[in-house]
Amino acid sequence: MPVYTPRMELLSPEFRQRLKKLRLMCDRVKSARSRGQRLSRALGHGIEFAGHRPYSHGDDTRYLDWNAAARLDQLVLKQFDAAGELTLVLAPDLSPSMAFGTPDKFSHALGVLAALGSIALHGSDRVLLAPVTGETQRPRVFHGVASEGALLEALSSLKPARTGISSAGGWLAGLRAMRGDSLLVLSSDFLARDTLLGAIRDLRRMNTRVLAFHHIAPQEFNPRLDGRVRLDFLERDGSRVKVNVT
């Protein structure tokens, strides 16, 4: 079994600063009951002031709040409520095979999800963390820039399981309470292909959009097969597989 070593830092401070300038631009379902915070391009009827966020180099200076800047001694931008809040669901695959590779697939998957989660929180969208396991569990909810550190800490604490995923029924049960516009981001090596593809079909029937990242280690692209080779079935707690080549 490969040994997974957690990364000390998923996103560097410099990279996190760059992510603050980005926003998720996927199509949003607008609803009178779903109200999220986005930087408005105009002040008009029906748009409500929702707060400030720190100014970053490259932001539109038209939305600077000079009165607040004088009080806070820093440049801040006005933000407003607007219809179209998105729920971003981060779904890392906890299968044991994700620990394989140098660099390992799991660390790469967490880095991708951390970046997307950071962008969503700075855009005032809601983020759910729902690791893919065979168990029923309630997703953790994060909302607002202040929860970015808690999200990164929660992602960093995850580790691949010791056994593979034979059924996604329990995981799906924890997601059935989702309401409103949602996008689920699945990061997996898809070695449990049939189980995960079945889960994706069920999610689409729940009106949840799915974005999938397929992670492959360099050693899987170009394995060394010189001499005697031992194959371990990582999805079943490292059970060995005997292969006869004729």
Cα dist. 130→32, 141, 145 in Å? 27, 9, 19
Average pLDDT rounded to a whole number, residues 26-34: 47
Half-sphere exposure of 96 (CA within 13 A, CB side): 16
Each residue's pLDDT tens digit, 107-155: 999 999 999 999 999 988 999 999 998 787 889 999 988 999 999 999 9
pTM: 0.72
> Which of 42-51, 91-100, 204-213, 220-229 has the lowest average pLDDT?
42-51
Residue type, position 126, single letter: R
**Distance between the two ends of the chain, CA-based, in angstroms?**
27
Each residue's pLDDT tens digit, 149-187: 999 999 999 999 888 887 888 898 888 877 778 899 999
Report whether 132 contacts 111 (CB < 8 A): no
The C-alpha atoms of residue 117 and residue 185 are separated, in whole angstroms, by 10
DSSP output for 56-115: -TTS-GGGB-HHHHHHHTS-EEEEEEEE---EEEEEEB--GGGG-TTTTHHHHHHHHHHH
- Indicate the SS3 state at residue 237: coil
Which one, of 9, 20, 35, lies nearest residue 117 by Cα?
A: 20
| Residue 143 β-bridge partners | 126
Which one, of 208, 174, 183, lies nearest residue 87 by Cα?
A: 183
